[in-house]
Structure 1
Protein backbone atom coordinates (compact mmCIF):
# COMPACT_ATOMS: atom_id res chain seq x y z
CA UNK A 1 0.00 0.00 0.00
CA UNK A 2 1.37 3.40 -0.95
CA UNK A 3 1.96 6.10 1.66
CA UNK A 4 -1.16 8.20 0.86
CA UNK A 5 -3.30 5.09 1.15
CA UNK A 6 -1.73 4.22 4.48
CA UNK A 7 -2.37 7.74 5.76
CA UNK A 8 -6.03 7.64 4.71
CA UNK A 9 -6.46 4.21 6.27
CA UNK A 10 -4.90 5.40 9.51
CA UNK A 11 -7.10 8.48 9.58
CA UNK A 12 -10.19 6.36 8.94
CA UNK A 13 -9.32 4.01 11.78
CA UNK A 14 -8.59 6.96 14.05
CA UNK A 15 -11.91 8.55 13.14
CA UNK A 16 -13.86 5.39 13.91
CA UNK A 17 -12.03 4.91 17.21
CA UNK A 18 -12.59 8.57 18.10
CA UNK A 19 -16.33 8.43 17.40
CA UNK A 20 -16.73 5.16 19.28
CA UNK A 21 -14.73 6.60 22.16
CA UNK A 22 -16.90 9.73 22.33
CA UNK A 23 -20.12 7.73 22.24
CA UNK A 24 -18.86 5.29 24.86
CA UNK A 25 -17.67 8.08 27.14
CA UNK A 26 -20.98 9.93 26.92
CA UNK A 27 -22.95 6.73 27.38
CA UNK A 28 -21.06 5.85 30.53
CA UNK A 29 -20.50 9.26 32.07
CA UNK A 30 -23.25 11.50 30.70
CA UNK A 31 -22.95 14.88 29.01
CA UNK A 32 -20.50 16.13 31.66
CA UNK A 33 -17.94 13.45 30.81
CA UNK A 34 -16.51 15.48 27.92
CA UNK A 35 -15.78 19.16 28.69
CA UNK A 36 -17.37 21.48 26.14
CA UNK A 37 -19.47 18.71 24.57
CA UNK A 38 -22.88 20.25 25.34
CA UNK A 39 -21.88 23.62 23.93
CA UNK A 40 -20.58 22.04 20.73
CA UNK A 41 -23.71 20.06 19.92
CA UNK A 42 -26.49 22.27 21.35
CA UNK A 43 -28.75 23.38 18.44
CA UNK A 44 -30.13 26.36 20.36
CA UNK A 45 -31.03 27.67 23.78
CA UNK A 46 -33.71 25.93 25.81
CA UNK A 47 -36.88 27.74 26.83
CA UNK A 48 -36.99 29.59 30.13
CA UNK A 49 -38.91 26.72 31.74
CA UNK A 50 -36.21 24.18 30.83
CA UNK A 51 -33.18 26.45 31.10
CA UNK A 52 -31.95 24.63 34.21
CA UNK A 53 -31.40 21.54 32.02
CA UNK A 54 -29.14 23.38 29.59
CA UNK A 55 -26.05 21.25 30.23
CA UNK A 56 -27.83 18.01 31.12
CA UNK A 57 -28.64 16.51 27.73
CA UNK A 58 -29.39 13.07 29.15
CA UNK A 59 -32.31 14.52 31.13
CA UNK A 60 -34.33 14.61 27.89
CA UNK A 61 -32.31 12.66 25.33
CA UNK A 62 -31.83 8.89 25.39
CA UNK A 63 -28.89 7.26 23.58
CA UNK A 64 -29.75 6.45 19.95
CA UNK A 65 -33.49 7.11 20.53
CA UNK A 66 -33.30 10.88 21.09
CA UNK A 67 -36.08 12.60 23.05
CA UNK A 68 -38.50 10.03 24.48
CA UNK A 69 -41.82 10.36 26.26
CA UNK A 70 -40.41 8.43 29.20
CA UNK A 71 -37.87 11.17 29.79
CA UNK A 72 -40.58 13.84 29.74
CA UNK A 73 -42.84 11.90 32.09
CA UNK A 74 -40.04 11.64 34.64
CA UNK A 75 -40.55 15.32 35.45
CA UNK A 76 -44.09 16.00 34.29
CA UNK A 77 -45.96 13.00 35.69
CA UNK A 78 -46.80 14.87 38.93
CA UNK A 79 -48.57 17.62 36.92
CA UNK A 80 -52.03 16.47 37.99
CA UNK A 81 -53.61 19.74 36.85
CA UNK A 82 -53.13 18.55 33.26
CA UNK A 83 -55.04 15.35 33.89
CA UNK A 84 -57.89 16.99 35.80
CA UNK A 85 -59.00 19.25 32.93
CA UNK A 86 -60.95 17.69 30.03
CA UNK A 87 -59.08 19.81 27.49
CA UNK A 88 -55.67 18.44 28.54
CA UNK A 89 -56.51 15.04 30.06
CA UNK A 90 -55.36 13.33 26.84
CA UNK A 91 -51.75 13.81 28.02
CA UNK A 92 -52.22 10.76 30.19
CA UNK A 93 -52.23 8.39 27.21
CA UNK A 94 -50.62 10.37 24.42
CA UNK A 95 -47.23 8.65 24.47
CA UNK A 96 -45.66 11.28 22.18
CA UNK A 97 -44.51 14.60 23.62
CA UNK A 98 -42.02 15.92 21.08
CA UNK A 99 -44.63 16.30 18.35
CA UNK A 100 -46.17 19.34 20.05
CA UNK A 101 -43.40 20.30 22.47
CA UNK A 102 -40.28 21.32 20.58
CA UNK A 103 -37.27 22.71 22.41
CA UNK A 104 -34.04 24.56 21.58
CA UNK A 105 -35.88 27.48 19.95
CA UNK A 106 -34.65 30.14 22.37
CA UNK A 107 -35.35 31.39 25.87
CA UNK A 108 -38.41 33.45 24.95
CA UNK A 109 -40.18 30.75 22.90
CA UNK A 110 -42.72 28.66 24.78
CA UNK A 111 -42.14 24.99 23.82
CA UNK A 112 -45.78 24.27 23.07
CA UNK A 113 -47.39 24.20 19.65
CA UNK A 114 -50.68 22.38 19.36
CA UNK A 115 -50.67 20.04 16.37
CA UNK A 116 -53.82 17.99 15.76
CA UNK A 117 -51.94 15.97 13.11
CA UNK A 118 -49.72 14.55 15.85
CA UNK A 119 -52.76 13.52 17.90
CA UNK A 120 -54.37 11.95 14.85
CA UNK A 121 -51.22 9.96 14.10
CA UNK A 122 -51.19 8.71 17.70
CA UNK A 123 -54.85 7.69 17.40
CA UNK A 124 -54.15 5.76 14.21
CA UNK A 125 -51.19 3.94 15.73
CA UNK A 126 -53.28 3.08 18.75
CA UNK A 127 -56.21 1.77 16.71
CA UNK A 128 -54.24 0.03 13.99
CA UNK A 129 -54.65 2.69 11.32
CA UNK A 130 -58.38 3.21 11.69
CA UNK A 131 -58.33 5.73 14.52
CA UNK A 132 -59.63 9.28 14.27
CA UNK A 133 -59.83 12.23 16.62
CA UNK A 134 -62.81 12.45 18.94
CA UNK A 135 -63.15 16.22 19.21
CA UNK A 136 -65.64 16.14 22.07
CA UNK A 137 -63.12 14.35 24.28
CA UNK A 138 -61.23 17.62 24.69
CA UNK A 139 -63.67 20.29 23.54
CA UNK A 140 -66.93 19.23 25.18
CA UNK A 141 -66.68 21.94 27.84
CA UNK A 142 -66.14 24.55 25.12
CA UNK A 143 -68.97 23.49 22.83
CA UNK A 144 -70.69 26.70 21.70
CA UNK A 145 -73.52 24.60 20.29
CA UNK A 146 -74.52 23.49 23.77
CA UNK A 147 -74.65 19.86 22.67
CA UNK A 148 -77.40 20.50 20.10
CA UNK A 149 -75.42 19.06 17.19
CA UNK A 150 -73.97 15.97 18.84
CA UNK A 151 -70.31 14.98 19.01
CA UNK A 152 -69.45 14.57 15.32
CA UNK A 153 -67.65 17.92 15.12
CA UNK A 154 -65.51 16.82 12.17
CA UNK A 155 -68.58 16.62 9.94
CA UNK A 156 -68.55 20.43 9.82
CA UNK A 157 -65.30 21.67 11.35
CA UNK A 158 -61.64 21.18 10.48
CA UNK A 159 -58.68 21.23 12.83
CA UNK A 160 -57.06 24.14 11.00
CA UNK A 161 -59.93 26.51 11.78
CA UNK A 162 -63.19 26.46 13.69
CA UNK A 163 -64.90 28.59 11.06
CA UNK A 164 -66.95 26.96 8.31
CA UNK A 165 -66.31 28.81 5.07
CA UNK A 166 -69.52 27.61 3.43
CA UNK A 167 -71.75 28.39 6.41
CA UNK A 168 -74.52 30.91 5.80
CA UNK A 169 -76.57 32.03 8.78
CA UNK A 170 -80.35 31.97 8.24
CA UNK A 171 -82.10 35.23 7.44
CA UNK A 172 -82.34 37.81 10.26
CA UNK A 173 -86.08 37.37 9.84
CA UNK A 174 -85.86 33.76 11.02
CA UNK A 175 -87.68 32.95 14.24
CA UNK A 176 -86.20 29.47 14.76
CA UNK A 177 -83.11 30.56 16.73
CA UNK A 178 -83.73 28.04 19.51
CA UNK A 179 -83.10 25.17 17.09
CA UNK A 180 -79.38 25.93 17.23
CA UNK A 181 -78.85 28.38 20.09
CA UNK A 182 -79.20 27.72 23.78
CA UNK A 183 -79.94 30.65 26.08
CA UNK A 184 -77.36 31.46 28.79
CA UNK A 185 -78.14 30.51 32.41
CA UNK A 186 -78.96 34.14 33.25
CA UNK A 187 -82.04 33.93 31.04
CA UNK A 188 -83.54 31.39 33.41
CA UNK A 189 -83.06 33.60 36.46
CA UNK A 190 -84.50 36.89 37.70
CA UNK A 191 -81.78 38.58 35.65
CA UNK A 192 -83.92 38.00 32.57
CA UNK A 193 -86.90 39.88 33.99
CA UNK A 194 -84.96 42.57 35.84
CA UNK A 195 -82.25 43.34 33.26
CA UNK A 196 -82.67 41.71 29.86
CA UNK A 197 -86.29 42.53 29.17
CA UNK A 198 -86.08 46.19 30.29
CA UNK A 199 -82.84 46.80 28.34
CA UNK A 200 -84.28 45.43 25.11
CA UNK A 201 -87.69 46.97 25.64
CA UNK A 202 -89.30 43.57 25.04
CA UNK A 203 -90.99 43.18 28.42
CA UNK A 204 -93.17 40.32 27.24
CA UNK A 205 -90.41 38.29 25.53
CA UNK A 206 -90.00 34.63 26.38
CA UNK A 207 -86.60 32.95 26.66
CA UNK A 208 -87.02 31.01 23.41
CA UNK A 209 -87.91 34.18 21.47
CA UNK A 210 -84.28 35.15 20.82
CA UNK A 211 -85.16 37.03 17.63
CA UNK A 212 -87.11 39.71 19.52
CA UNK A 213 -83.97 41.07 21.20
CA UNK A 214 -80.82 39.75 19.51
CA UNK A 215 -79.17 40.52 16.19
CA UNK A 216 -77.68 37.66 14.16
CA UNK A 217 -74.14 39.08 13.99
CA UNK A 218 -73.56 39.00 17.75
CA UNK A 219 -75.46 37.73 20.76
CA UNK A 220 -74.67 40.95 22.65
CA UNK A 221 -75.94 43.16 19.83
CA UNK A 222 -79.42 44.07 21.06
CA UNK A 223 -81.94 45.40 18.54
CA UNK A 224 -82.46 49.13 18.90
CA UNK A 225 -79.81 49.35 21.64
CA UNK A 226 -76.46 48.18 20.30
CA UNK A 227 -73.71 46.17 21.98
CA UNK A 228 -74.56 45.36 25.59
CA UNK A 229 -72.25 43.20 27.72
CA UNK A 230 -74.51 42.00 30.48
CA UNK A 231 -74.47 38.22 29.90
Structure 2
Protein backbone atom coordinates (compact mmCIF):
# COMPACT_ATOMS: atom_id res chain seq x y z
CA UNK A 1 0.00 0.00 0.00
CA UNK A 2 1.52 3.30 -1.10
CA UNK A 3 1.29 6.07 1.48
CA UNK A 4 1.45 9.81 0.90
CA UNK A 5 2.74 11.04 4.26
CA UNK A 6 0.75 13.94 5.63
CA UNK A 7 -1.81 14.08 2.82
CA UNK A 8 -4.67 13.95 5.33
CA UNK A 9 -3.10 15.84 8.21
CA UNK A 10 -5.94 17.38 10.23
CA UNK A 11 -8.65 15.80 8.09
CA UNK A 12 -11.51 13.76 9.54
CA UNK A 13 -13.52 11.17 7.62
CA UNK A 14 -16.67 9.09 7.97
CA UNK A 15 -16.56 5.83 6.01
CA UNK A 16 -19.59 3.58 5.53
CA UNK A 17 -19.00 -0.10 4.92
CA UNK A 18 -15.79 0.54 6.80
CA UNK A 19 -15.41 -2.83 8.52
CA UNK A 20 -14.18 -4.76 5.50
CA UNK A 21 -13.07 -4.62 1.89
CA UNK A 22 -12.70 -1.29 0.15
CA UNK A 23 -14.00 0.79 3.04
CA UNK A 24 -11.53 -0.67 5.52
CA UNK A 25 -8.58 -0.31 3.16
CA UNK A 26 -9.41 3.33 2.43
CA UNK A 27 -9.73 3.97 6.17
CA UNK A 28 -6.29 2.47 6.78
CA UNK A 29 -4.79 4.69 4.09
CA UNK A 30 -6.34 7.85 5.50
CA UNK A 31 -5.06 7.08 9.00
CA UNK A 32 -1.61 6.18 7.65
CA UNK A 33 -1.56 9.50 5.80
CA UNK A 34 -2.33 11.57 8.89
CA UNK A 35 -6.15 11.64 9.11
CA UNK A 36 -8.75 10.42 11.57
CA UNK A 37 -11.64 8.11 10.67
CA UNK A 38 -14.93 6.91 12.05
CA UNK A 39 -16.24 3.64 10.64
CA UNK A 40 -19.91 2.80 10.07
CA UNK A 41 -20.94 -0.75 9.29
CA UNK A 42 -23.77 -3.20 9.87
CA UNK A 43 -21.45 -5.90 11.28
CA UNK A 44 -20.47 -5.17 14.91
CA UNK A 45 -17.95 -8.02 15.16
CA UNK A 46 -16.11 -6.93 12.03
CA UNK A 47 -16.20 -3.33 13.24
CA UNK A 48 -14.57 -4.26 16.53
CA UNK A 49 -11.71 -5.95 14.69
CA UNK A 50 -11.38 -3.16 12.13
CA UNK A 51 -11.22 -0.44 14.80
CA UNK A 52 -7.91 -1.67 16.15
CA UNK A 53 -6.56 -2.78 12.79
CA UNK A 54 -7.22 0.57 11.15
CA UNK A 55 -6.74 2.83 14.16
CA UNK A 56 -10.21 4.32 13.91
CA UNK A 57 -11.32 7.01 16.35
CA UNK A 58 -14.72 5.38 16.80
CA UNK A 59 -17.04 2.86 15.18
CA UNK A 60 -20.82 2.69 14.82
CA UNK A 61 -22.80 -0.45 14.14
CA UNK A 62 -25.79 0.77 12.20
CA UNK A 63 -28.02 0.09 9.24
CA UNK A 64 -27.64 2.98 6.79
CA UNK A 65 -31.21 2.37 5.59
CA UNK A 66 -32.44 3.70 8.96
CA UNK A 67 -32.53 7.51 8.58
CA UNK A 68 -32.83 8.17 12.32
CA UNK A 69 -29.82 5.98 13.05
CA UNK A 70 -27.81 7.74 10.34
CA UNK A 71 -28.70 11.17 11.72
CA UNK A 72 -27.65 10.15 15.24
CA UNK A 73 -24.41 8.57 14.02
CA UNK A 74 -23.54 11.67 11.97
CA UNK A 75 -23.90 13.91 15.03
CA UNK A 76 -21.97 11.55 17.29
CA UNK A 77 -19.24 11.13 14.68
CA UNK A 78 -18.85 14.88 14.26
CA UNK A 79 -18.59 15.25 18.03
CA UNK A 80 -16.02 12.46 18.28
CA UNK A 81 -13.90 13.80 15.44
CA UNK A 82 -14.37 17.49 16.20
CA UNK A 83 -15.43 18.11 12.60
CA UNK A 84 -16.09 16.19 9.38
CA UNK A 85 -14.13 16.84 6.19
CA UNK A 86 -14.71 13.66 4.19
CA UNK A 87 -17.58 11.26 3.56
CA UNK A 88 -16.92 7.97 1.76
CA UNK A 89 -19.98 5.81 1.14
CA UNK A 90 -18.97 2.26 0.30
CA UNK A 91 -21.68 0.25 2.08
CA UNK A 92 -23.58 -1.95 -0.34
CA UNK A 93 -25.17 -5.33 -1.06
CA UNK A 94 -25.78 -7.24 -4.29
CA UNK A 95 -29.25 -8.74 -3.80
CA UNK A 96 -30.64 -11.68 -5.70
CA UNK A 97 -29.13 -12.88 -8.99
CA UNK A 98 -32.21 -13.77 -11.04
CA UNK A 99 -34.24 -12.39 -13.99
CA UNK A 100 -36.61 -9.50 -13.32
CA UNK A 101 -39.75 -11.64 -13.51
CA UNK A 102 -38.37 -13.83 -10.72
CA UNK A 103 -36.80 -11.08 -8.63
CA UNK A 104 -38.02 -11.22 -5.00
CA UNK A 105 -39.69 -7.98 -4.00
CA UNK A 106 -38.09 -8.03 -0.55
CA UNK A 107 -34.62 -8.37 -2.11
CA UNK A 108 -35.33 -5.48 -4.50
CA UNK A 109 -36.45 -3.26 -1.64
CA UNK A 110 -33.46 -4.16 0.53
CA UNK A 111 -30.93 -3.41 -2.22
CA UNK A 112 -32.51 -0.02 -2.97
CA UNK A 113 -32.77 0.74 0.75
CA UNK A 114 -29.07 0.06 1.39
CA UNK A 115 -27.38 1.09 -1.85
CA UNK A 116 -29.41 4.15 -2.79
CA UNK A 117 -31.69 5.33 0.02
CA UNK A 118 -29.02 4.65 2.63
CA UNK A 119 -26.40 6.52 0.63
CA UNK A 120 -28.82 9.45 0.32
CA UNK A 121 -29.41 9.51 4.08
CA UNK A 122 -25.67 9.53 4.74
CA UNK A 123 -25.05 12.38 2.31
CA UNK A 124 -28.06 14.33 3.57
CA UNK A 125 -26.90 14.19 7.19
CA UNK A 126 -23.18 14.79 6.62
CA UNK A 127 -23.32 17.58 4.02
CA UNK A 128 -24.24 20.26 6.61
CA UNK A 129 -21.03 19.49 8.53
CA UNK A 130 -18.96 19.85 5.37
CA UNK A 131 -20.66 23.13 4.49
CA UNK A 132 -19.97 24.40 8.01
CA UNK A 133 -16.26 23.82 7.32
CA UNK A 134 -16.39 25.45 3.93
CA UNK A 135 -14.50 22.34 2.79
CA UNK A 136 -15.43 18.78 2.00
CA UNK A 137 -14.86 15.75 -0.17
CA UNK A 138 -17.59 13.18 -0.87
CA UNK A 139 -16.93 9.85 -2.58
CA UNK A 140 -19.99 7.75 -3.39
CA UNK A 141 -19.08 4.26 -4.55
CA UNK A 142 -21.16 3.19 -7.54
CA UNK A 143 -20.33 0.45 -10.07
CA UNK A 144 -19.91 -0.22 -13.77
CA UNK A 145 -23.31 -1.91 -13.36
CA UNK A 146 -24.74 1.57 -12.88
CA UNK A 147 -23.45 2.56 -16.32
CA UNK A 148 -24.13 -0.60 -18.34
CA UNK A 149 -26.45 -2.78 -16.28
CA UNK A 150 -25.66 -6.41 -15.53
CA UNK A 151 -28.19 -9.08 -16.50
CA UNK A 152 -29.84 -10.84 -13.56
CA UNK A 153 -28.75 -7.98 -11.30
CA UNK A 154 -31.52 -5.44 -11.93
CA UNK A 155 -31.79 -4.10 -8.38
CA UNK A 156 -28.04 -3.67 -7.99
CA UNK A 157 -27.72 -2.06 -11.42
CA UNK A 158 -30.63 0.30 -10.79
CA UNK A 159 -29.35 1.29 -7.37
CA UNK A 160 -25.86 2.02 -8.68
CA UNK A 161 -27.24 4.04 -11.61
CA UNK A 162 -29.14 6.04 -9.02
CA UNK A 163 -25.91 6.70 -7.13
CA UNK A 164 -24.36 8.18 -10.27
CA UNK A 165 -27.33 10.46 -10.97
CA UNK A 166 -27.59 11.50 -7.33
CA UNK A 167 -23.89 12.35 -7.13
CA UNK A 168 -23.99 14.40 -10.33
CA UNK A 169 -26.88 16.41 -8.91
CA UNK A 170 -25.22 16.85 -5.52
CA UNK A 171 -21.88 17.86 -6.99
CA UNK A 172 -23.52 20.64 -8.97
CA UNK A 173 -25.45 21.83 -5.92
CA UNK A 174 -22.24 22.10 -3.90
CA UNK A 175 -19.94 23.48 -6.61
CA UNK A 176 -18.53 26.81 -5.48
CA UNK A 177 -19.11 26.00 -1.79
CA UNK A 178 -15.84 24.24 -1.15
CA UNK A 179 -17.41 20.77 -1.16
CA UNK A 180 -16.68 18.35 -3.99
CA UNK A 181 -18.74 15.22 -4.67
CA UNK A 182 -17.79 12.47 -7.11
CA UNK A 183 -18.67 8.82 -7.71
CA UNK A 184 -16.37 5.87 -8.31
CA UNK A 185 -17.43 3.21 -10.84
CA UNK A 186 -15.31 0.10 -10.31
CA UNK A 187 -15.63 -3.11 -12.21
CA UNK A 188 -15.82 -6.23 -10.07
CA UNK A 189 -12.85 -6.52 -7.75
CA UNK A 190 -11.80 -9.11 -5.22
CA UNK A 191 -13.82 -8.35 -2.08
CA UNK A 192 -16.14 -9.98 0.47
CA UNK A 193 -19.18 -8.88 -1.57
CA UNK A 194 -18.35 -11.59 -4.15
CA UNK A 195 -19.45 -14.14 -1.57
CA UNK A 196 -23.00 -12.94 -2.21
CA UNK A 197 -22.83 -13.94 -5.90
CA UNK A 198 -22.86 -17.25 -7.77
CA UNK A 199 -19.60 -18.07 -9.55
CA UNK A 200 -21.38 -17.83 -12.92
CA UNK A 201 -22.11 -14.16 -12.28
CA UNK A 202 -18.51 -13.46 -11.28
CA UNK A 203 -17.30 -15.22 -14.43
CA UNK A 204 -19.68 -13.16 -16.58
CA UNK A 205 -18.43 -9.90 -15.11
CA UNK A 206 -14.79 -10.92 -15.58
CA UNK A 207 -15.50 -11.73 -19.22
CA UNK A 208 -16.65 -8.13 -19.82
CA UNK A 209 -13.34 -6.61 -18.68
CA UNK A 210 -10.87 -6.04 -21.55
CA UNK A 211 -7.89 -6.54 -19.22
CA UNK A 212 -9.20 -10.07 -18.60
CA UNK A 213 -9.06 -10.00 -14.81
CA UNK A 214 -10.95 -8.71 -11.83
CA UNK A 215 -9.73 -5.54 -10.21
CA UNK A 216 -7.70 -5.33 -7.03
CA UNK A 217 -9.19 -3.49 -4.09
CA UNK A 218 -5.94 -1.56 -3.75
CA UNK A 219 -6.50 -0.01 -7.18
CA UNK A 220 -9.89 1.45 -6.24
CA UNK A 221 -8.56 2.51 -2.83
CA UNK A 222 -5.77 4.45 -4.53
CA UNK A 223 -8.24 6.35 -6.71
CA UNK A 224 -10.40 7.15 -3.68
CA UNK A 225 -7.27 8.37 -1.93
CA UNK A 226 -7.03 11.09 -4.57
CA UNK A 227 -10.77 11.76 -4.78
CA UNK A 228 -11.00 12.35 -1.01
CA UNK A 229 -7.94 14.60 -0.84
CA UNK A 230 -7.28 18.30 -1.36
CA UNK A 231 -5.61 17.39 -4.66
CA UNK A 232 -9.02 16.68 -6.17
CA UNK A 233 -9.95 20.34 -6.49
CA UNK A 234 -11.42 20.88 -9.96
CA UNK A 235 -13.44 17.74 -10.66
CA UNK A 236 -16.93 17.43 -9.21
CA UNK A 237 -20.28 15.89 -10.15
CA UNK A 238 -18.30 13.30 -12.09
CA UNK A 239 -17.34 9.62 -12.09
CA UNK A 240 -13.91 8.06 -11.77
CA UNK A 241 -13.46 4.72 -13.54
CA UNK A 242 -11.58 1.64 -12.34
CA UNK A 243 -12.95 -0.92 -14.77
CA UNK A 244 -10.00 -2.38 -16.68
CA UNK A 245 -11.28 -0.72 -19.86
CA UNK A 246 -14.91 -1.85 -19.57
CA UNK A 247 -16.64 1.53 -19.10
CA UNK A 248 -14.45 4.31 -20.42
CA UNK A 249 -17.12 7.01 -20.31
Same fold (TM over 0.5): no
Q: Looking at CA atoms only, which structure, 1 or 2, has the larger radius of gyration?
A: 1
Short-chain TM bin: under 0.3
Greater RCO structure (CA 8 Å; 6+ sep) = 2
TM-score by length of 2: 0.19
Say which structure is richer in helix. Answer: 2
TM-score by length of 1: 0.20
